[in-house]
Amino acid sequence: MDGFSGGSGSPGQPAESVHAQPGSGARLDWGLAGAAELSRVCAVLVVVDVLSFTTSVEVAVARGMRVHPFPWGAQAPEYAARMGAVAAVGRRAVTPEHPWSLSPAALHAAPVVPELVLPSPNGSAISAAASATGLTVVAACLRNARAVGRWLLDQGYGSTSAPIGVVAAGERWPDDSLRPAVEDQLGAAAVLDALSTVSGGLSVEAALALAVLNSVPDVPAAVRGSVSGRELASRGFGQDVEIAVQVGVSDVVPVLRNGVYSPA
């Protein structure tokens, strides 16, 4: 799995690009391209894909599974076989014999396996690419955003010399272009809310996301009413949305080490 070009900033490198939101301790961008930009200068990346990759990671890791992110595609079973893992399938491909999928509800009920390969086109692809850079990568969702923020502060991240990059994964249009997603903006902002005291301050992009969060009176209702929330519910996966909108219920912080998410 290819990573992003470049890597985290270090002494002697050229000045940060303006697109990397220089001079701030916590930054926000979108999708694979945004993650690639932030990975060049940030000390840690936080991936947010509320519906459903990072919510599924939190559920699985909380139950004792190690999660291997993998880009969406037919190669996942082969990769899982090499890793001695079980490969999750699409939601509609679940069977009683193979209940593991990208669905948080399915992973909440499925038997615990030691190693799980979890493909997705957005959050998992970003995680896999970011892992190849050697950066610390954390999976955040609405369930664990506060815990992730506390952990990042405890680790000393958030200065201008060790900035945090928060990546809202977003969704995809049929032409494969990025579709910004309400649930990921709110999930990313929930992490930034816990980081509002970082010594390096928030970038303008991060501060505006936080302002949006502060203007939303009912985050679960907003996610349920979003395009992604309604789409999942209309396909019969409303329970996935209900699990994803449980704000602040988890202290689990999944950290990607050697290509595998496990508890911090």
pLDDT tens column, 107-145: 999 999 999 999 999 999 999 999 889 999 999 999 999
Q: How far is CA 175 from the centre of its chain?
A: 22
Interhelix angle 182-194/145-154, nearest 10 degrees? 40
Whole-prediction pTM value?
Answer: 0.94
Mean pLDDT (the chain) is: 94
Domain span(s) for CATH 3.90.1560.10 in the chain: 21-44+132-258
What pLDDT sits at residue 14? 45
C-alpha to C-alpha distance for 99 and 116, rounded to whole angstroms: 12
C-alpha to C-alpha distance for 173 and 211, rounded to whole angstroms: 26
Instruction: Give the pLDDT band of residue 2 (cuts 50, 70, 90).
Output: low
What pLDDT sits at residue 223? 98
Whether CATH 3.20.20.70 fits 21-44+132-258? no
| Each residue's pLDDT tens digit, 138-179 | 999 999 999 999 999 999 999 999 999 999 999 999 999 999
Beta strands in 94-193 (DSSP E): 115-120, 136-140, 164-168, 171-172, 178-179
Percentage of residues in the chain having pLDDT higher than 70:
95
Say yes or no to pLDDT of 10 above 50. no
The single residue listed with the structure tokens 């991936």 is 47
Contact 54, 113 (CB under 8 A): no
Q: Which of 47, 39, 27 is nearest to 133 (CA)?
A: 39
